[in-house]
């Protein structure tokens, strides 16, 4: 392939690419199956009328029950086309052109386009190995219209310390600015319980994609006690996409009823894969931050573009350029594939690094 093709590397070249002999560390979706209740509940579903824009009542009641510790009501939720739509509606509801949104890098690759498509500007807080520098945060928060936190993070797999999260809650509360918390990986944490950011100024973004392995069903939601944000999101959604797929919402409702052992057993699998890939990369001498949640790892490599290109072209291994996530000297590996494939992929990385 000519060099210009290498320069054009983009996620769309790899999304959905499968084939004989290809090992993909690219895709950010669970390879594990969804709960069986999610599949069986679809068989007798026959109500395909338009649904409520905010989301089906039983699903929102189920979510309110999940969030009962925070006195949530079903009217605090908007069920969306994945967390992706929840993020978009939230930014549109809270921001105006030229506003600055404070976030931390490395970041999920849709954040920057989502902010910029809404004519706002991203403002980055300093981080060290993926962890937020809280003093820098406190300074920059004054300039921001809103803050976006993602813990555990895609692409680092790092979680923010609880004391940092509590300071962020307080600083944003005192400034009276919305705190958007993308918690799509909240159930996939290996080091401690999740600490959910909360308060009247918090907008929680979540999804059934990762916890319940339902990425293609496209069900997510936003949760906020601020009725003006919820109402605005519903108004925007009325004209943008209308209700979220009603059958998928039923599946999500059944996912909520899944015994918690389902998620616990999957977390054990994720953790054992995390150990294999982290230890494997340390043995290869790669500079890497230990993932504490989600299913990503972000090693530093020499010439990341050559790495991603050659690993794909010569070794049939898909990885993602760190540059897409605001980490230009790194590459992202997703370990959403079985242990044997992870080990095989690591051997290929070793071969590449040794120049063979
Ligand atoms: C941090 C983060 N937020 C949001 C999303 C979007 O998720 P959904 O499938 O619910 O739209 C992803 C997907 O990879 C993600 O990693």
In order along its 356 residues, the chain shows pLDDT tens digits of 455 667 778 888 887 777 789 999 998 899 999 999 999 999 999 999 999 999 999 999 999 999 999 999 999 999 999 999 999 999 999 999 999 999 999 999 999 999 999 999 999 999 999 999 999 999 999 999 999 999 999 999 999 999 999 999 999 999 999 999 999 999 999 999 999 999 999 999 999 999 999 999 999 999 999 999 999 999 999 999 999 999 999 999 999 999 999 999 999 999 999 999 999 999 999 999 999 999 999 999 999 999 999 999 999 999 999 999 999 999 999 999 999 999 999 999 999 999 87
**Residue 326: which residues within 8 A CB-CB, separation 6 or more?**
105, 106, 107, 112, 124
pLDDT at 110: 96
pLDDT at 8: 79
Give the residue extent of every domain in the chain.
3-28+261-353, 45-256
For atom 16 of ligand 1, the residue with the nearest CA is: 154
Burial of 267 (0-12, 13-18, 19+ CB in 10 A): middle
pLDDT at 66: 97
| Contact between 114 and 93 (Cβ < 8 Å) | no
In 3-state terms, what secondary structure has residue 78? strand
Find the 159 Cα to ligand 1 centroid distance in Å: 16
Total number of residues shown for the chain = 356
Find the 184 Cα to ligand 1 centroid distance in Å: 6
Closest atom of ligand 1 to CA, residue 84: 11
Find the 333 Cα to ligand 1 centroid distance in Å: 16
Comparing CA positions, the residue from 244, 232, 192 lying closest to residue 82 is 244
Q: How far apart are CA 320 and CA 210, in angstroms?
A: 19
Q: How far apart are CA 202 and CA 146, in angstroms?
A: 10
The domains spanning 3-28+261-353 and 45-256 adopt the same CATH topology: no
pLDDT at 3: 54
pLDDT at 18: 78
Closest atom of ligand 1 to CA, residue 215: 9
Residues with C-beta less than 6 Å from any ligand 1 atom: 28, 82-84, 108, 150, 154, 182, 184, 207, 209, 215, 220
Find the 210 Cα to ligand 1 centroid distance in Å: 8
pLDDT at 13: 84
Closest atom of ligand 1 to CA, residue 185: 1
Query: Could you tell me which CATH number the domain at 45-256 has?
Result: 3.40.640.10
Burial of 264 (0-12, 13-18, 19+ CB in 10 A): exposed
Terminus-to-terminus CA distance in the chain, angstroms? 20
pTM (two decimals)? 0.95
Comparing CA positions, the residue from 40, 76, 64, 93 lying closest to residue 251 is 40
pLDDT at 5: 67
The partner residues of 132 in beta bridges, in order of sequence, read: 127
Query: Could you tell me which CATH number the domain at 3-28+261-353 has?
Result: 3.90.1150.10
Four-point Cα dihedral 54, 57, 59, 61, nearest 10: 110
Paired tokens of 217: 């069903």
Closest atom of ligand 1 to CA, residue 86: 11
pLDDT at 4: 63
pLDDT at 76: 98
């Amino acid at each position: 392939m000519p060099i210009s093709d290498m320069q054009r590397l983009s996620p769309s070249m790899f999304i959905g690419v499968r084939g004989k002999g290809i090992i993909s560390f690219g895709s950010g979706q669970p390879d594990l199956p969804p709960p069986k209740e999610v599949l069986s509940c679809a068989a007798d579903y026959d109500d395909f009328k338009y649904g409520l824009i905010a989301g089906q009542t039983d699903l929102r009641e189920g979510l309110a029950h999940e969030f009962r510790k925070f006195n949530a009501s079903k009217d605090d939720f908007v069920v969306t086309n994945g967390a992706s739509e929840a993020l978009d509606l939230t930014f549109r509801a809270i921001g105006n052109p030229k506003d600055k949104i404070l976030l931390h890098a490395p970041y999920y690759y849709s954040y920057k386009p989502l902010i910029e498509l809404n004519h706002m500007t991203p403002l980055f807080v300093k981080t060290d190995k993926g962890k937020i520098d809280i003093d820098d945060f406190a300074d920059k928060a004054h300039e921001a219209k809103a803050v976006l936190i993602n813990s555990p993070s895609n692409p680092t797999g790092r979680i923010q310390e609880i004391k940092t999260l509590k300071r962020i809650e307080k600083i944003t509360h005192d400034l009276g600015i919305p705190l958007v918390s993308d918690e799509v990986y909240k159930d996939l944490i290996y080091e401690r319980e999740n600490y959910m950011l909360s308060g009247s100024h918090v907008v929680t973004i979540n999804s059934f994609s990762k916890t319940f392995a339902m990425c293609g069903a496209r069900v997510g939601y936003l949760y906020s006690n601020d009725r003006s944000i919820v109402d605005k999101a519903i108004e925007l959604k009325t004209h943008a996409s209308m209700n979220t797929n009603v059958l998928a919402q039923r599946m999500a409702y059944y996912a909520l009823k899944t015994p918690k052992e389902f998620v616990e057993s999957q977390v054990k699998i994720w953790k054992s894969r995390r150990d294999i890939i982290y230890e494997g990369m340390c043995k290869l001498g790669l500079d890497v931050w230990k993932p504490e949640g989600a299913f990503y790892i972000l090693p530093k490599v020499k010439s990341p573009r050559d790495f991603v290109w050659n690993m794909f072209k010569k070794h049939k291994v898909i990885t993602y350029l760190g540059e897409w996530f605001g980490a230009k000297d790194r590459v992202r590996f997703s370990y959403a594939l079985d242990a044997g494939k992870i080990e095989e992929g690591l051997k290929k990385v070793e071969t590449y690094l040794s120049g063979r």
